[in-house]
Structure 1
Amino acid sequence: MAKQNIINRTIGVNFNTSGTAEALVWAPFTDHLVLKLKNSEVAMLKQQHGYFSVTTDQLKPGDQYQFLVNDKTLPDAASLFQPEGVHGPSAAFDLKAFDWTDHGWQNIPLSNYIIYELHTGTFSPDGTFNGIEEKLNYLIKLGITAIEIMPVSQFPGSRNWGYDGVFPFAVQNSYGGAAALQQLVNACHKKGLAVILDVVYNHLGPEGNYFGQFGPYFTDKYHTPWGSALNFDDAGCDEVRRYFIENVLMWFRDFHVDALRMDAVHAIRDFSPVHILREINQHVAELMEQAGRTHYVIAECDLNDTRYINPLQKEGYGFSGQWIDEFHHALRVAAGGERNGYYSDFNGITDLANAYQNGYVYHGQYSNQRQKTFGTTTEGIDGSQFVVFSQNHDQVGNRMLGERSSQLFSFEMQKLMAGAVMISPFLPMLFMGEEWSETNPFQFFVSHSEKELIEAVRKGRKAEFADFHAEGEAPDPQAISTFENSKLSWDLLDKGHHKVMLDYYKNFIQLRKSQSAFKHTDRENMSVVVDEVNNTLVIQRWTNDQQVICLLNFSKQQQQINIPEEVTNWQKLLDSADPKWNGPATSPEIISAGKLSVPPEAILIYTQYHA
């Protein structure tokens, strides 16, 4: 593991204890580097391995600056703030200036995470970090324990999902910048909420990407679906690796973020002796040891390879957990959703049962879509290492029209799908607004300024839906209306069935938190019985002091479900078909062995406690 400064950020512009600015820039593509200030220029001293450095009292926090690289004036590749956007000058920011009040905060156990994924620009009316802060009390009452914020690194314009960021260290100016993010994290900790930040290390966006003019940040050895691959194992890779390791450490150390969700790690190619992902997690482990704080790194990975989530001690990459798209895919098909595109590889209720038992649906079987045997066994891995959901930004926003479940499934099925996530031995995640059956879509939006790029994005979106046989036209990603249409409708919370759904979610989340059989993420204490013909599942979970039985009917007809012989005088915990949840009929309060009639598209939960 390369030696890395754990205590302080060293690259870019930083301020020492005396308030003097120290700049360290990697620019091996030039022999001379100049720091350009408002009224002066400061020559920088060339160091080893392509670095340039300078210490100066001419640059203060808030001052704008740039670098002169081969006669081109460029913003800082390690900028912390871009007040005028991706093409403007950088602004110096003192990471140590914020007055933190969360010194007593300790990250909650990962197994207690109930995650709420949100997009800063569309979550609140004003689309800022302050807008999120104003809604924290709402999230607490809902029962959320951790918010997951989609990427905030500076992107072009003011409208973007965040995956087109081009300044990994700079916090989006239209959201409020770095100080506002620090304030939000501090406020979350004050209220007992953990904060997960989505980060992107598999590519950088196309507009405002000046990295290639400084040094070999990219490699031609590999390609990604989104642009040039970052250089983690080619000539010059040591300093690229340092750059992204420093980025990870900054979010934890200087922004007090509790966890990172790392986007599409399967697209990060590295054949070094120590994979960059493993090295990142090695440094995180060192930071935790030195700082005495707990941090988690969660991967988005579609390779079904437990090497990513195996601990460092077992030669894994050391991720705390990963998103499981396959649970979502199996759940959607079981619920009657389409079976085109990547959904074609899933067989509904049988694969959903498989997902409950194994996390991965494919853990060594043949995949028709991939045309190969796919996946590894998950034996011995705790359920807290898997994050599951019925909706997320990808699965909603990457539909052509961005429809949520509220537009695709009945009210009863929405309740069943929510329940299917909550009763799992995995970490549940909600996508903003699903808890009140939000009707507005979440669509793909950008705000580029380059005409050719705008047209390329439009054409790319149309081509993306070829496998899904979608009819009609995709919304224009560049149009302001596409962004505005994706904002949450907060005025729906106390209206009709939206209020009912919100109360239902609150009730289910409280159930998840209060019942030991649901709270624990032990995958061993669970049995799953599937009825393919009638499209039903019977899931039993237990701890030393409690047993629960969950009856899930995904069919559109009432079904007779066999209750196991050991079930005697079990009490009802939840009934999604109860009229109080706008359901068709209530079920018995007490059940015993035999058959129970379960309403269509419903989930029933019964329990028995042990003294």
Structure 2
Amino acid sequence: MQRPSARSISRKHAMRFGAEVRTDSTRFQLWAPKCRSIRLRLKGRRTLLQLEAIDDGWHCLDVEGVKPGARYKFVLPDDSEIPDPASRHQPDDVDGFSEVIDPAQFQWTDDGWTGRPWEETIIYELHVGAFTEEGTFRAAMDRLDHLVALGITAIQLMPLADFYGRFNWGYDGAMWFAPEASYGRPEDLKAFIDAAHARSLMVFLDVVYNHFGPHGNCLALVAPIFTRKHTSPWGEAINYDGQGASVVREFVVENALYWVTEFNLDGLRFDAVHAITDDSTTHILELLAARLRAARSHRHLHLIVENSENQAIWLRRNSEARPIHYTAQWNDDIHHLVHEAATGENTGYYADFDNMEARCDKLARALAEGFAYQGNIKPHEGMRRGEPSAGLPPTAFVIYMQDHDQIGNRIKGDRITRLANADAVKALTAVYLLSPQIPMLFMGEEWASQNPFPFFSDVPAELRETVRKGRQEELKSTPEHEDPVKPDVEEAVDPTSPATFASARLDWQDLAEPPHAEWLAHYRALIDTRRMEIIPRLAGIEGFASDYEVLGAQCVLVSWRLGDGATLRLYANLDEVTRTGLPSAIGRRIHLQGFAEQGTLGPWTVLWTVEV
């Protein structure tokens, strides 16, 4: 791992889309095949400028004297005005003027930074707007030392593409190239990333290529960005394989390259790729991975997917055990299993793990092989899910006990420490933080924050009731709705309310107070054990390197052959009852949570051993 040098450099991603600052001018380019002509409005000037229509629906104009900071819009044939779909900054929200940005003006200090190997990754997922009271990139930068002290090696930012209004989870981004203006300017985000690299922290960004937000996307007015050939859970599907799809695909690829190049990110997390439909010869996911890896071949680049279909094909390794397409996938199967074990919730999507015997087998299998469902029928869905994953290394999976979805997709956004007893949560923390899979924490988890993380989305007044009702419908598939003792879905917090967003902000003042300080010490100790005992043994770990056994109700034994030839074993009793008559532990103890002696595991006991 190399540390940044003191030499200052600039970074700029050249692309066909948007406004490009040149020596004495700025070139404006817009792909608008639906429009016979496009004019340019520069804020403060009366005269509109006519763009030149060139081949394939492109409109272009080079304007002398336009400098960074200039504001502009495009004027359509009907005299309506739109911001630049490839705007680098929207200072006045998604409907306002776009601002010309010269990315070369920001001076980076991380010239020597090449990232970190994937095996060293410990992810911390955060929402910039709720991470601090101020909700800005600059304020988040002040908390970086906390993450370093915790032992985090990678920050994963929830989506930043500019969205409508004052608050949003980020998955309703409308302007894909513009970092959300309420968090700060583009150079503020760059300063945050630069500061993270100075502390040897990687930074990943969550990107959404399966839909646009419901308000602010102007691309559909000028180009065939959507298709009726496919459907999407969010409405119209993005056109990856129809007429005009070649430029749509280019727009998406350039967006991904823009983030990792101009902002020097260490990786991307691709949201809900199962909802991306593409019948092209080369799927957009294959194209994205190939172009990104080719562009960043000189450094570590980590590409993560969320995929409810559990498709192992995207996680394949080459003969040198390196990812061909994507580095890893979020492992929701394990989340559901450990959540059910801790809380006893067995309705909604947790109904797939209701049977205790099956649940134990699925948990052990998911820890050992990645997917719990590998072509099996999921009872709750009544559908066959997944592909065989035993041949993948455990590092092809991201393991977690909480994330934004699994907290936020509850009626009130409750965290697991409000739903389960402390012994259960600490035991499951010991399972996932020491697993050979790559662990991820959700912000505030490390001190058992009591603040919820409900779903929030600011929308125009005329859409608020639609969003509220839509949210209530979504919550009907959750375990709370199906549990008669839990609040009815109609009591869900209002996602469009500023108070809902405010409730999600972290309670940093509680960090040093009991019991939060004790929780923080628990997490730090586990991460320190991972750093010393697990990470050094992960390089070179292969597939088909695990085994598992169900020892009884809620009791499992899982073993892995690590990259250095050592054997890592997990003995876990995830129940309130002591289990006896179990196999004696083999190897040197590296962590014990609970009580264990020969052949016995106490309630909520997790024992890890390593045998060299």
Give TM-score scaled by structure 1 length.
Answer: 0.91
**2: CA distance, partners of 1:563 / 1:230:** 54
- Report if aligned partners of 2:369, 2:546 keep a CA contact under 8 Å in 1: no
Give 1:567-606 correspondences, 5 Å limit.
567=586, 571-577=588-594, 587=595, 594-596=598-600, 598-606=601-609
- Give the equivalent residue in structure 1 for 2:17: 11
Indicate whether 1:318 and 2:325 are aligned: yes
- Give the equivalent residue in structure 2 for 1:65: 72
- Report if aligned partners of 2:120, 2:535 keep a CA contact under 8 Å in 1: no
- The match for 1:364 among 360, 367, 375 is 375
- The match for 1:550 among 563, 570, 575 is 570
- The match for 2:405 among 391, 394, 399 is 394
Distance 1:96 1:296, change over 3 A: same
Give 1:442-591 correspondences, 5 Å limit.
442-448=453-459, 450-468=460-478, 470=481, 471-472=487-488, 473-516=491-534, 519-520=537-538, 521-522=541-542, 524-533=544-553, 535-543=554-562, 544=564, 546-560=566-580, 562-564=582-584, 567=586, 571-577=588-594, 587=595
Q: 1:320 deviation in Å?
A: 1.8
- The match for 1:295 among 301, 307, 314 is 301
- Report if aligned partners of 2:427, 2:604 keep a CA contact under 8 Å in 1: yes
- Report if aligned partners of 2:366, 2:372 keep a CA contact under 8 Å in 1: yes
Q: Deviations over 1:347-394 (max 9, x none)?
A: 432211110122011112232233243321113312221111110000
Percent identical among aligned pairs is 34
**2: CA distance, partners of 1:326 / 1:571:** 29
- Give the equivalent residue in structure 2 for 1:104: 112
Q: 1:571 deviation in Å?
A: 4.7
SS of equivalent to 1:442: coil
RMSD of aligned alpha carbons: 2.2
- Report if aligned partners of 1:34, 1:68 keep a CA contact under 8 Å in 2: yes
Q: Which amino acid aligns with 1:418?
A: T
Distance 1:506 1:523, change over 3 A: farther
**1: CA distance, partners of 2:13 / 2:372:** 41
Q: Which amino acid aligns with 1:191?
A: R
- The match for 2:234 among 226, 234, 241 is 226
Q: Which consecutive unaligned segments of at least 5 residues does structure 1 have?
A: 1-5, 578-586
Distance 1:29 1:311, change over 3 A: farther
Which is worse superposed, 115-124 or 319-328?
Answer: 319-328
**2: CA distance, partners of 1:256 / 1:189:** 10
Q: Deviations over 1:531-552 (max 9, x none)?
A: 343x112233454575444322
- Report if aligned partners of 1:278, 1:312 keep a CA contact under 8 Å in 2: no
Q: Which amino acid aligns with 1:143?
A: G
Q: 1:42 deviation in Å?
A: 1.8
- Report if aligned partners of 1:364, 1:377 keep a CA contact under 8 Å in 2: yes
Q: 1:491 deviation in Å?
A: 1.4
**2: CA distance, partners of 1:220 / 1:276:** 18
SS of equivalent to 1:429: strand
**2: CA distance, partners of 1:325 / 1:607:** 27
Q: Which runs of 4+ in 1 moved over 6 A?
A: none
**2: CA distance, partners of 1:403 / 1:14:** 45
**1: CA distance, partners of 2:359 / 2:61:** 61
**2: CA distance, partners of 1:165 / 1:244:** 13
Give TM-score scaled by structure 2 length.
Answer: 0.91
- Report if aligned partners of 1:357, 1:523 keep a CA contact under 8 Å in 2: no
**2: CA distance, partners of 1:334 / 1:572:** 24
Q: 1:335 deviation in Å?
A: 2.5
**2: CA distance, partners of 1:353 / 1:251:** 37
**2: CA distance, partners of 1:537 / 1:310:** 28
- The match for 1:407 among 403, 409, 418 is 418
Q: Deviations over 1:482-519 (max 9, x none)?
A: 11111111112111121111101001011111104885
**1: CA distance, partners of 2:292 / 2:386:** 27
- Report if aligned partners of 2:369, 2:392 keep a CA contact under 8 Å in 1: no
- Give the equivalent residue in structure 2 for 1:30: 35
- Report if aligned partners of 2:371, 2:389 keep a CA contact under 8 Å in 1: yes
- The match for 2:437 among 416, 426, 438 is 426
Q: Which amino acid aligns with 1:9?
A: M
Q: Deviations over 1:184-234 (max 9, x none)?
A: 111111110000000000000011121111111111112211232111111
**2: CA distance, partners of 1:337 / 1:88:** 49
- Give the equivalent residue in structure 1 for 2:336: 329
**1: CA distance, partners of 2:27 / 2:318:** 34
Q: Which amino acid aligns with 1:595?
A: G
Q: How many residues matched?
A: 582
Distance 1:205 1:429, change over 3 A: same
Indicate whether 1:51 and 2:58 are aligned: yes
- Report if aligned partners of 2:436, 2:534 keep a CA contact under 8 Å in 1: no
